[in-house]
Structure formats: C-alpha cells, structure tokens
Chain A
Amino acid sequence: MDRVVRLVIYALLFLGLVVTATPLLWMVSASFMGSGEASTYPPRLLPSAATLDHYVALFSRLNLGRYAFNSALLATAITLVSLFLNSMAGYAFAKLRFTGRDRIFKALLAALVIPVQVTMLPLFLMLKQMGLVNTYWGVLIPGMANIFGIFLIRQYALSIPDSLLDAARIDGASEFRIYWSLVLPLCKPILVTLALFTFMGAWNDFMWPLIVLTDDSMYTLPVALANLLGEHVLDTELMMAGSVLTILPVTMLFIVLQRSYVEGIMMGSLKD
C-alpha cells in the first residue's frame, strides 16, 4: 500500500516540477534561438544553434543597460533607506515605552487592508506639485517606510531580553547607540530577510513606476519590458531575452538566500 501511495505522490510531484519549470526553461531556451525560431510549428524546445544576438541587440540598440541601472539603483536605495527607518520604528514598537504606542501600532496594522492603488492618484498630484514626477525620488519616496517591514522587525525584536538593553543603559550607552550596536546586530537574520523582500518587491514593482516615470530614460526594467512589447511583440526571442535579464538578478538572489526568504514568509504569517 505504502509503495503505491509513494509512487502516486512522486508522480504528482514530478508533474508539478515539469509544469512549474517548463515555462521558465523555455523562456531561457527561446532567448538563445535565432530570430523566428520560437515561432514555428511544432514548437522548438532548444535552439538549432545558440546565439547571443538578442542579448547584444538589447544592450546595444535598446538601451537595456540604462534600465537595468535604474532598476538596480532604485531597488538598492529603497532597500537601504527603508531598512534603516523600518528597523528603528519596529524596534521602538517592540521595546521602548511611549504614550499611544500600542494604539498607533494597531492602527498601522489595520491600515494594511487599504489597497495601495487608493493612494496613487493623490500621491501623483503631490509629487507633481513637488516637481518629482519622472525622477528617482518619485519612486523612492513612497517606498522609504512601510508597515509590513515595521511589523516584521517588531515581531523579531520582541524576543530581545530587556535585561540586555537595561545593562547597556546602565553602562551609559545612548539610546541610538543601543539601537545601532546592540539591537541591529541581534536583528541581523530578520534584517537580511526584510532586505531580500524589499529589494525583490522594488525590483519587480510595476504599477507605480509605470505611473510616475514618464520618460524612457528613467524606466525600470519591468516598465521598459512592457513598453518594448508594444513595438517588438513579434520578436519572441528578443522579448524572451529581455525577460530573462529582468528576472535573473532576483532569481539568483533568491536561490542564494532562500532560507532567509522562506523563514520570512513563515514569520509574516504568524499572528501576534
């Protein structure tokens, strides 16, 4: 009985593996095919002769380096700034006493149900007023602090023993010094996780950059890719090369740091 069950389970798991991986593998394979090869019947799985033409074209003719630079710069800036601000706030909500602390925190959690699209229209008008539409700041500013990040840090910081912080206070350390040289190192695992979440979220983000970046030279990779599709929809192989380049950095990052990532999802799903 167990043997039959085991066989069925493995069969289903391998079917799942094929269904999940095939689209991604085909994307990579098609990106190396000669022009037109991905549009044949029956469909080809492998290029007849692998070529880098489409990758070269993307960088030389289609400005992909610029988009990749924009994406990398914005995702890095959002990650660094938000990590700093969220960790300060998350730590304070967990370990420092001040009037209204728990009420403010509850209000923040309740605000998580508000879809971000509600804010986009006024935010656009505000940034336009400030002259920040079509600038890096326009993308960076709304990403500098976020509620989920504060929540994640707080949950983790709750486990830091008060005695440790008090000991540092008795030794005369300032509150900022305690945060910087004691709390941050203790929170390192969750900081790595949050950094990963934030970087990937910013890298993959589409709707806000699409709205606030109006000039071609400011586009991030996803916006550029959607835009490229308009003109090059028939260049399947070229579009696949662009897609591969867009997902490559985040996929590599995930594969290297997947433990932190998976643990973060589990932490985020635990109720307080």
Chain B
Amino acid sequence: MRWAAGYFFVAPALLLIAVFFVFPVFSAFLLSFTDFDIYSLGNIEYLRFVGIDNYINLFGNSRFWTALGNTFYFVAVGGPLSVLVSLGAALLINSKLVRLKTLFRTVYFLPVVTTLVAVAVMWRYLYHPRYGLLNFALSGIGIEPIDWLGDPFWAMPAIILMAAWKNFGYNMIIFLAGLQSIPDSLYEAARVDGANRWHQFRYVTLPMLAPTFLFVGIITMIGYFQLFAEPYVMTQGGPSNATLSVVLFMYEEGFRWWNLGNAAAIAFVLFVIILAVTLLQLRLQRER
C-alpha cells in the first residue's frame, strides 16, 4: 500500500519532468544530427540525418568561436569578480564591529530580486557615453568618458560590471551562512596561538569556507555560461560581435533563422562544456 502511495505522489512531477525536460534533452541530441531548418518546420519530410556535419560546420564557423571566446571571457573574469565581491561584502557585514547588518544585507540583496531585463534596460542608460551617470561619476575623478556599450573593448567589461552588481548579493548570503557556521572556538584557539587578523582569515576562515567556495563556484559558473538577456537587451551581441554569447548565438540560429539542427549542436557543446568544468571543479576540490 505504501509502495503504491510513493509512486502516486512522485508520478505527476516525474511524468512532467520526463516529458518536458528529459525527453527534450534526448531529442535535442538527435536534432543536432539533422539538418532541421525552416523547410523541415513546414514539412517534416524535408528532414535528413546529416551525421556530425552540424558540429563540423560549427567548428569551422568563426562566429561560433567568437561567441565561445566571449562567453569564456565573461565566465573567467565575471565569475571570480562577482564571487570576490560577494565574499568581501559577506566579510564586512559579518564583522563583529558592525551594526545595521540587516539594512546592509537587504540593500545589497535588492538587485538580485529585480528583473534582469528591467535592470539591463536601466544600465543601458547609466552607461550612456554622454548623459550616463557612470561616466559623470568617473569624470569626477578625472577619467575621460568611455563609450561603454559602443566600444568593442569596453562592451564586455560593461556587461561583467553590471552582472556583478546584479548577482553578488546572492552569493553573499551563502558566504554569510558559511561564515556564521565557523565556531568561535577556532578563532579563540588561533588568537591564543598569537594569530593576527590576517592569519585568522588565512588559516581559519578560508579553509573553513572551502565547501562554500565550491558550491558558490559551481552555481555561479553554470549561471554565467548561460549569459543571454544582458547582451540581448544591452548590445544585441555587438559592437562587432564583442558581446555575442553562446546562448545568444544559439537563440539567433534556432529562433531567428530557424536552423534548429545547428542550434541544437550549439546547445550541446554548451552542455558538454558546463559538465566538463563542473567535474573539473569537483575534482580540484577533492585533490586539495
């Protein structure tokens, strides 16, 4: 009786996940070996299996390499930046010398709950080379106006900055939980041994935060590889493809040009990369 009950309770959710998540994943894999395009969309009889042609074409496509390079740039610079800002904010708020902790925490967290599209629209204006608040603030310390979203060199840094502003509050909360779980007795023991602030941080706080770092690192990395709305809203992948991300490239191939076979191949390459980097991070952590 209780056996049947277990299946009865999980069945609806599992069925939905199987049909609308697992099945599409396998279908996407098959799709990536076909030439599914706008003609097949009209009449499925035009569909042909093309083996690994989509992947070969992809690896010969310079736009794909640009998108991949940009995405790695965003992950490799933006990821660590946002994690470090999160850690810094958590350390400051967690300090015993600070009051008004809730106020700081709440305000720091606000950007996380806001709608990405809306704040991306707002940042477009903040980044305006002439009227934007950011260049005005920078001119106060003598920095010449920067064409943040119009200059291929600055466009990706601009998106990275905006993403750090939007996201750091989330990891900050996780770091705060990690910091609060470190027993005071460890710090006391370190102080008895003559450890100063830096030593306490280096030899107590950091090692104790290692599992938190792993978790934060993995979820941030997975999220950052899926960069889409920021370039879609702020730059449309420009200027001269400087902010074209893998997911934006997939969206354009799949839903603008209806090359669904190609787009599926792009999606799978992204999946394999995310999987590989996740496993690598887990492995590195274990070795340490």
Contacts and interface: CB of A to CB of B under 8 A. Distances in A.
Interface of A: 2, 5-6, 9-10, 12-13, 16-17, 19-24, 26-27, 30, 38-43, 85-86, 88-89, 91-93, 96-99, 101, 104, 108, 111, 113-126, 141-142, 144-147, 150, 175, 179, 200, 203-204, 206-207, 211, 221-223, 225-226, 229, 233, 236, 239-240, 242-244, 246-247, 250-251, 253-255, 258, 261-262, 265-266, 269, 271
A76 to B, nearest CB: 16
A43 B136 contact: yes
Contacts of B95: 9
A29 to B, nearest CB: 11
B190 interface: no
A38 B131 contact: yes
A271 to B, nearest CB: 7
Most buried by B among A145, A223, A226, A254: A145
Interface residues of B, number: 89
A9 B211 contact: no
B113 A85 contact: no
Interface of A is mostly: helix
Interface in B102-160: 104-111, 113-119, 121-126, 128, 130-133, 136
Interface stretch (B21-29, B52-60, B199-207): B21-29
Contacts of B117: 204, 206, 222-223, 225-226, 246
A151 B111 CA distance: 26
A97 B6 contact: yes
A123 to B, nearest CB: 5
Nearest to B15: A145
Contacts of A175: 1-2, 5, 8-9
B82 to A, nearest CB: 13
B263 interface: yes
Nearest to A244: B118
18 contacts: A9-B95, A23-B111, A38-B131, A89-B10, A89-B12, A115-B225, A117-B226, A117-B270, A121-B263, A125-B260, A141-B20, A150-B13, A175-B9, A204-B114, A204-B117, A206-B228, A239-B125, A262-B105
A142 B21 contact: yes
B165 interface: yes
A144 B20 CA distance: 10
A145 B17 CA distance: 7
A42 B174 CA distance: 39
Contacts of A20: 107-108, 110-111, 165, 169
Contacts of B116: 204, 206, 222
A158 to B, nearest CB: 15
B267 interface: yes
B92 to A, nearest CB: 5
Contact of A255 (B3, B97, B106, B222): B106
Contacts of A116: 226
B185 to A, nearest CB: 22
B233 interface: yes
Interface string B159-197: 000000100011001100100000000000000000000
A97 B104 CA distance: 45
Given A6-B97, A24-B111, A122 B9 contact: no
B250 interface: yes
A31 B1 CA distance: 60
A27 B125 CA distance: 9
A62 to B, nearest CB: 14
Contacts of B107: 17, 20-21
Contacts of A240: 121-122, 125
B174 A251 contact: no
Contacts of B14: 89, 104, 145
A104 B10 contact: yes
Contacts of A30: 125
Given A9-B95, A30-B125, A39-B131, 14 more contacts: A21-B107, A41-B130, A43-B132, A88-B10, A97-B6, A99-B3, A141-B16, A144-B20, A150-B13, A179-B9, A204-B114, A206-B117, A207-B247, A254-B109
A262 B105 CA distance: 10
Contacts of A98: 2-3, 6-7, 10
B2 A42 contact: no
Given A9-B95, A221-B115, A41 B131 contact: yes
Given A85-B12, A115-B225, A118-B267, A247 B104 contact: no
